[in-house]
Amino acid sequence: MAQLRIALAQVNPTVGDLEGNLRIVVDAARRARDRGAHLLALPEMAVTGYPVEDLALRNSFVSASVKAVHRLAGELAERGLGDLPVVVGFLARREGPGARYGQPAGAPQNAVAVLHEGAVAVTSAKHHLPNYGVFDEFRNFVPGDTLPVVRVRGVDVGIAVCEDLWQEGGPVTAARAARVGLLLSLNGSPYERHKDDVRLELCQRRAREIGAALAYVNMVGGQDELVFEGDSLVVDAEGELVARAPQFTEELLVADLDLPAGGGEGVRDGGVVDGLTVVRRTVSADPVEPYTPQENTVTPRPDPLSDVGEVYRALVTGLRDYTVKNGFGSVLVAVSGGIDSALTAAIAVDAVGADRVHGVLLPSAHSSDHSVSDAQELARRQGFAARTIAIAPVVEAFESAAAGAGAPLDGLAAENLQARVRGTLVMALSNQEGHLVLATGNKSEAATGYSTLYGDSVGGFAPIKDCWKSLVWELARWRNAEAERAGEVPPIPENSIEKPPSAELSPDQLDSDSLPDYAVLDAVLDAYIGTDKGEAELVFAGYDPELVRRVIRLVDRAEYKRRQSAPGTKISARNLGRDRRLPITNRWTV
């Protein structure tokens, strides 16, 4: 057996910021060296950020990525870090034959490079390209056809990229045939609820199948609608957990392993297994001198009952990175006294700090006294500045203008006008003062169209867009409970949580006047949207036929609204953005 100390850098790159991302890699290499690591791995496409989407189709971007990796190898050597093998993801292009029918122009690849002694020792590319959910990798990349096996300190290390681990065959089969001592998996695996349990089980199963230890390094941070939680981990050949990094924070996870030394067994260099050519390279043949290993760290997962807390941390991470990476110095939230805006404000304060959160109260003629007082109490508890702009005079001016043109407004048109006046005002403040406006709508409202286009739906980012209304309440209660446990004042007024939800666009209005009970509604919506069950399947599952037909009607008719909505952090297996793409013009209703 040979000893090997590996370092997994759970980092937060930014798409397109090649110079900034290279600095992250160099810093990780320095820290890994300081901790005595023999091998450093960083996430999938750490050099470019991930996902790059159609940036992969720009030749200038691909060329810049390739040059950056070679420059990185040289810089590591110049800083005295060249003898530390660094495995990093980047954007490359397939060498060899020209354009092929049905493949992306320029043949870009989701690639990995091993950097050593100032040079690129070997490169390879992701073999399995996911084309489901949020992934469009068949659109953006061409697959790789090699499995690199790099000998590091006498240990044969195989390298795979993200989906290569999730799919049967290919790199998994080749790694087993190559008799690797360690399989290194580079990942940009987006967060969704309960995925951490599935991820661990997958890594344990693959390690047992290959008969080798497995190290899984994942990205952390937000990128548009996606958020990455890290959760990097190492398991041994029997699938036992050896080390695990925390979620939603940058971390250098270092683990000491006892691994089989590479020998003459296994598929040789140039051998082909399951369509992949095994490419062997040696960066350091001799095992390290025996040393006293450190105690490996396994960060405990949160209690299973705090799954809601995990979601909350994902929402905070997603909003923080969207704000910071897009250069916004502050955010603006229209606070109504209701639960949605209260939770949005709490997430914003936790994400960017109270001094960078600006609230605005926009009471109308129908706003209740408790709505105004609850919104003021929210701002006081969370410590952010809030101003009040009464919208009644503006609404009256619009109504007068419409009546003067022979089109007096009443009913739904009059209700929506109030929401649109609010939307106009918050966007005006955004333009004037440079704030990022946060839309406060939840998934139940977005699904059913229970929002006003260009009204309460306006904003640059929607933090709770992927949260059912029932989850919004759970998140608010969890956040308050966390504050109480820490001896702090709960950030969300209890009345905002307990009172019946209302848009307050007409006298004594309640959500229940026009929508089913949220617990029932959310269950039907989750089945219809989350699993694509049709009307017959939903009725067979026990839901009321008339309710099912009504909900389907609401969802289908609101598609055009959702196409115009702000992006928001994805936390579910299927959100209403990248995950679900349906035609607006559509007469299929069952």
Residue numbering of the annotated binding site for deamido-NAD(+): 416, 445, 561
Known catalytic membership, residue 229: no
Question: In which element (H, E) is residue 385 found?
Answer: strand 385-388
What would the two tokens of residue 60 be? 């200038």
* Rounded distance between C-alpha atoms, residue 344 and residue 335, angstroms: 9
* Rounded distance between C-alpha atoms, residue 498 and residue 342, angstroms: 12
Question: In which element (H, E) is residue 525 found?
Answer: helix 518-530
Q: Which of 162, 163, 465, 504 is catalytic?
A: 162
Which residue numbers belong to the known binding site for L-glutamine?
132, 189, 195
* Rounded distance between C-alpha atoms, residue 304 and residue 193, angstroms: 11
If DSSP codes are grouped into helix, strand and coil, which group holds residue 572? coil
Phi/psi of residue 347, nearest 5 degrees = -60, -40
C-alpha of 95 from chain center: 32
Q: Which residues pair with 200 in a beta bridge?
A: none
Known catalytic membership, residue 289: no
Candidates 96, 124, 105; CA nearest to 58 is 105
Candidates 323, 328, 340, 295; CA nearest to 435 is 328
Sheet-wide strand order for 276-282: 241-244, 233-235, 213-218, 182-187, 155-161, 146-152, 276-282, 272-273
Q: Is 327 left (phi over 0), alpha (psi -120 to 50) or beta?
A: left
Q: Are 568 and 577 in contact (CB under 8 A)?
A: yes
Known catalytic membership, residue 44: yes
Q: Which residues pair with 238 in a beta bridge?
A: none
Q: Which of 75, 126, 137, 469 is catalytic?
A: 126
DSSP per-residue codes, 217-280: EE-EEEETTEEEEB--EEE-TT--EEEEPPBSS-EEEEEEEEEPPP-S-SPPTT-EETTEEEEE
Which residue numbers belong to the known binding site for ATP?
334-341, 440
Q: Are 490 and 475 in contact (CB under 8 A)?
A: no
E strand intervals along 17-152: 39-41, 86-93, 108-116, 119-125, 146-152
Q: Which of 44, 75, 251, 310 is catalytic?
A: 44
CB-neighbour burial class of residue 447 (10 A; exposed 0-12, middle 13-18, buried 19+): buried
Q: At residue 94, what is the residue type?
A: R
* Catalytic sites, residue numbers: 44, 126, 162
